[in-house]
Structure 1
């Protein structure tokens, strides 16, 4: 028996490269304490507060649970992605990785997969927590399909905004703006339904991607399939991904 020690310098298959990059991205994000607070602790605190004190505030668990699921999509796809990418860009990590066989498309695909895995994990954990606290959604097949479609489009829109920020601003500015947008977006459709606003303000909230996502998930949990959020989400997704494509630079 002879052993073949001849070198094979070819790159790994594209699927393996993207998966390896996504795994590293996800592990780095999960090990970040600040991101753990945004990812689990704040949404869980909202759920617990809604379960025990929500009726007094007019925001019970049936409304708060789908709103919290919208919140984790908002935080992961905007804040987490923007901050991590901004500092990677500052220290020329993106430029160095782009020079490997992974390439720029592989970097973006890996980031998308990593954020998707983290968001899915958050949705599962917080969904189970909401069920344990007494949430009883009335999903239908149609409402689930519409909610998932809206969620994917809104996640694309949030990611586009996050990449536009991280690819054009200094990381310190990205950190500040992303956290500010996170706080501003929470009441604008994510946690508060549009019906809680005056008519003129409700129309503005419904036209935002945060409003579209929140309304779609809340409606889906009651068995309703709203179609207008898909249109709003699709328009924002196309616009913000185009913006990211135009303004994103790989080096600071």
Structure 2
């Protein structure tokens, strides 16, 4: 038995998850493509929504409606698309097969990746908030705590969904599915634009999506200072179902 295996076996499950989370965070921050997806595109989206009239009527000022939507987009970019693609190709090149020989396990891998997503999300939230303030954003202070809870739930939900896809289909399919979903959810899934702007016939369907629950909940919190119980319930259900499915169905290779 190797020294690394002995050391890994001697470490408790929580410590293993923390170590994995640290490793995953370093990988994400050193990947140029993921940084573009996680930082550059959300900032561009924030600037575009602020200087155009696409969000007229949602709030008194465009930037107040733009920032919550872009924060939701950050969650999807990092937790769903970024983790899905990265994990899919790690699976192809045998990196995950290496982890399967350690005591980390599926649950440890998933929770380690969630920790990495949360670490990168903190950076994104700070960056988008600073840019938003420079553009004149004034969030409703009453809604900051509910918004933080919603971001945490969204990170867990979309990380689990990304890993579910990455762990069950081929890497090429993961790449196509996550990128297509990112575009569709950002534009028509209730992320950047509230559901009230969508045609009435499709609103009930969109309302059941975690993207709409996250986007609209953040807007209600940061614009009106209101807590969205319905949005929270939808996020909790999606998080629980996707986490259980990812844990049970994830394949190392």
Provide the TM-score with structure 1 as the length reference. 0.87
- Residue 104 and residue 61 in structure 1: after superposition, are their counterparts in 2 closer, same or farther (change >3 A)? same
> C-alpha separation between the residues in 1 aligned to 2:191 and 2:84?
19
Matched, 1:38 2:41: no
Query: Equivalent residues in 2 for 1:4-43 (5 A)?
Result: 10-11=7-8, 13-14=11-12, 15-43=14-42
| Deviations 1:72-117, CA, capped at 9 Å, x for gaps | 0011111111111111111221121232344444322221211111
Q: In terms of Rg, which structure is larger?
A: 1
Structure 2 match to 1:182? 182
Residue 230 of structure 1: CA displacement?
0.8
Of the three residues 225, 228, 232, the one matched with 1:226 is: 228
| Deviations 1:173-215, CA, capped at 9 Å, x for gaps | 1111110111111021000101111223222222211110001
Matched, 1:85 2:87: yes
- Residue 99 and residue 144 in structure 1: after superposition, are their counterparts in 2 closer, same or farther (change >3 A)? same
Please tell me whether the aligned partners of residues 63 and 218 of structure 1 are also in contact (alpha carbons under 8 angstroms): yes
Of the three residues 107, 110, 117, the one matched with 1:108 is: 110
Equivalenced residues, count: 240
> C-alpha separation between the residues in 2 aligned to 1:84 and 1:148?
26
Please tell me whether the aligned partners of residues 118 and 152 of structure 2 are also in contact (alpha carbons under 8 angstroms): no
Please tell me whether the aligned partners of residues 150 and 216 of structure 1 are also in contact (alpha carbons under 8 angstroms): yes
Matched, 1:164 2:164: yes
Structure 2 match to 1:5? none
Could you say what secondary structure the match of 1:95 adopts?
A: helix
> C-alpha separation between the residues in 2 aligned to 1:56 and 1:103?
45
Provide the TM-score with structure 2 as the length reference. 0.87
Please tell me whether the aligned partners of residues 190 and 213 of structure 2 are also in contact (alpha carbons under 8 angstroms): yes
Please tell me whether the aligned partners of residues 69 and 191 of structure 2 are also in contact (alpha carbons under 8 angstroms): yes
Residue 158 of structure 1: CA displacement?
1.3
Could you say what secondary structure the match of 2:52 adopts?
A: helix
